[in-house]
Amino acid sequence: MPRIKAAICRAFGAPLSIEEIDLRAPLAGEVEVTLEAVAICHSDISYADGAWGGDLPAVYGHEAAGRISALGAGVIGHALGDPVVVTLIRSCGACPNCATGRPTICEDPAGPHGSPLATPDGQDVIQAMNCGAFAERVVVDTSQIAELPGDMAMDAACLLSCGVITGVGAVVNAAGLRAGQDVVVIGAGGVGLNAIQGARIAGARRIVAVDMTEEKLAIARDFGATDGLLASSDKPWKALRQLTGRGADAVIVTVGAIPAYDSAPLYLAAGGRVVMVGMPHSGAMSSYEPVVLAYMGQGMVGSKMGDVVISRDIPWMVDLYQQGRLKLDELISARWRLDQINEAIADTKTGGARRNVIMLAP
């Protein structure tokens, strides 16, 4: 059983510890991937802070890319050395949601094999979000990987695992935005910038970013926003109506802040839809006036991981990146080593980072 280095969470809210743990070999339907890059997502931080509970010790991390280094029994279509992204989307392929093209909400995502991680003395370690990618290697189900071009840089590729597909997919898949429509994106962080990119790719007329600072609104314009509104200004949804003449066809909430959810329906045009992407802490409550949504024919819908089908959506996003139409390199704020992960997390918590990437030796 190979021994790998990983960043382990042993207490919520405490620094992660770099330890050596055991990784079992891949079983039927699984692959082992030797990682070269893993990005830090705010979901990893929220989990490690105890926002959504869970068991410990655990290894977080779920935005990863690397090369297949071992194959489990029955795996076809993949070979040793293949470059892949690793996602948290583990799907059984047989439940009603998987069968209707919605693998992000698979009804049996746990899989049959359990966590492949353990401490040297035999204690089980949770493979958080089906990935446990703050580590040198992972063992995951084949449904969680998508192949990459051989010459694609891994630091850019790993971003496709979550932040990019979540943001772009929220606009293209969940909102179903059509060319000429108007969209508001609340939050210009990592996911928000990708929602803005998705709106640009979809041909939106107005792409209006809403955030707390002028600095982040300026970055949003670099990624395709046509306009920016400060969330702290007086009733910014009124300014939005002056821009569009009627409100927005879609409002994408990419932050887990309750004030963002409270105000989101106020930006909608008649028939518009709020797409809920950002995840508040468990127990947090929002409020809205349902009579307005009913009368105006508006709606609210959750979107997990951009409602993507990774075998369908990641290849076309890779193609857009290769054409220069999807920004990935520009999303990377800084690159860190695994032993610097706590510093990278602290930097991410400041709110200024788009994506910090941990680089692992190939």
**pLDDT score for 52:** 87
Token look-up 């991410």 returns 348
CA nearest neighbour of 63 among 352, 348, 351, 350: 348
Mean pLDDT for the stretch of residues 337-361: 91
Token pair for 130: 């089906």
Q: What pLDDT sits at residue 86?
A: 97
Q: Which residues pair with 5 in a beta bridge?
A: 20
Share above pLDDT 70 across residues of the chain, in percent, rounded to a whole number: 99
**Structure tokens belonging to residue 110:** 């746990």
Q: Per-residue pLDDT for 362 more than 70?
A: no
3-state secondary structure 171-234: HHHHCCCCCCCCEEEECCCHHHHHHHHHHHHHCCCCEEEEECCHHHHHHHHHCCCCEEEECCCC
- The predicted structure's pLDDT at residue 112: 73
Q: Which domains does the chain have, with CATH numbers?
A: 3-161+327-359 (3.90.180.10), 167-303 (3.40.50.720)
Whether residue 111 has pLDDT greater than 80: no
Residue 24 has pLDDT above 70, yes or no: yes
Answer whether residue 54 shows pLDDT above 80: yes
Find, among 98, 133, 157, the residue nearest to 5 by Cα: 133
pLDDT tens across 60-88, in order?
999 999 999 999 999 999 999 999 999 99
Reported as half-sphere exposure (CB side, CA atoms, 13 A), residue 246 has a value of 12
CA 232 to chain centre: 26
Its pTM surpasses 0.75: yes
Cβ atoms within 10 Å, residue 86: 27
pLDDT digits (tens, 9 = 90+) for 282-315: 899 999 899 999 999 999 999 999 999 999 999 9
- Helix (H/G/I), strand (E/B), else coil: 170: helix
Q: Residues 165-215: pLDDT tens digits?
A: 999 999 999 999 999 999 999 999 889 999 999 999 999 999 999 999 999
In sequence order, the β-bridge partners of residue 34 are: 67, 137
For the chain, give the percent of residues with pLDDT over 90: 89
Q: If you average pLDDT over every residue of the chain, what do you get?
A: 94
Mean pLDDT for 98-126 is 90
Read off the pLDDT of residues 249-293 as tens digits, 9 standing for 90 and up.
999 999 999 999 999 999 999 999 999 999 898 899 999 899 999
Q: What is the DSSP string of 20-64?
A: EEEEPPP-TTEEEEEEEEEEPPHHHHHHHTTTT---SSEE---EE
| The pLDDT of residue 361 | 73
Tokens of 205: 């007329």
> Identity (one letter) of the amino acid at 325?
R
pLDDT at position 350 over 70: yes
